[in-house]
């Protein structure tokens, strides 16, 4: 989870103002996530690291799921990397007939209950999924 929070913060800076150190950190963080196909264990037969990584919810705050990983590496400028394919296919499969995504996972605390309900279409999940799909040239 620490990698994704740091990567989110670093990609907020415009590429024009990032130092070489920050650029290197962004590249290394993306490589770490991609090395694990965003949610799989590279040393254990590519098994899913944690089942909740495949369950979408938003906004993220401190949690991780494949959508957050895809969004972060997309914002870092990674496009058409084969190591993203599995996560992108999973994300696309979760899109409903109305072109939206639902919240699949509850928040760990009741403090976040106002962000949406599990099983219903979620505006944060849908927004971020569409941004990822657009960045990866999967939708217009």
pLDDT tens digit at each of 140 positions of the chain: 689 999 999 998 877 888 999 999 999 999 999 999 999 998 888 999 999 999 998 777 778 999 999 999 999 999 999 999 999 999 999 999 999 999 998 766 665 556 678 899 999 999 999 999 999 987 66
3-state secondary structure the chain: CHHHHHHHHHHCCCCCCCCHHHHHHHHHHHHHHHHCCCCECCCCCCCECCHHHHCCCCCCCCCCCHHHHHHHHHHCCCCCCHHHHHHHHHHHHCCCCCCCCECCCCCCCHHHHHHCCCCCECHHHHHHHHHHHHHCCCCC
pTM for the model stands at 0.89
pLDDT of 138: 76
């Amino acid at each position: 989870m620490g990698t994704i929070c740091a990567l989110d913060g670093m990609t907020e800076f415009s590429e024009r103002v990032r130092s070489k150190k920050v650029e290197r950190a962004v590249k290394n963080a993306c490589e770490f996530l991609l090395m694990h196909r965003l949610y799989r264990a590279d040393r254990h037969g590519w098994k899913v690291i944690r089942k909740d990584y495949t369950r979408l919810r938003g906004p993220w705050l401190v949690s991780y799921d494949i959508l957050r990983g895809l969004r972060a590496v997309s914002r870092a400028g990674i496009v058409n990397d084969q190591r993203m394919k599995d996560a992108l296919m999973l994300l696309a499969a979760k899109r409903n007939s109305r072109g939206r995504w639902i919240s699949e996972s509850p928040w760990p605390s009741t403090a976040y209950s106002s962000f949406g309900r599990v099983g219903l279409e979620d505006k944060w999940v849908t927004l971020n999924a569409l941004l990822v799909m657009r960045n990866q040239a999967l939708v217009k």
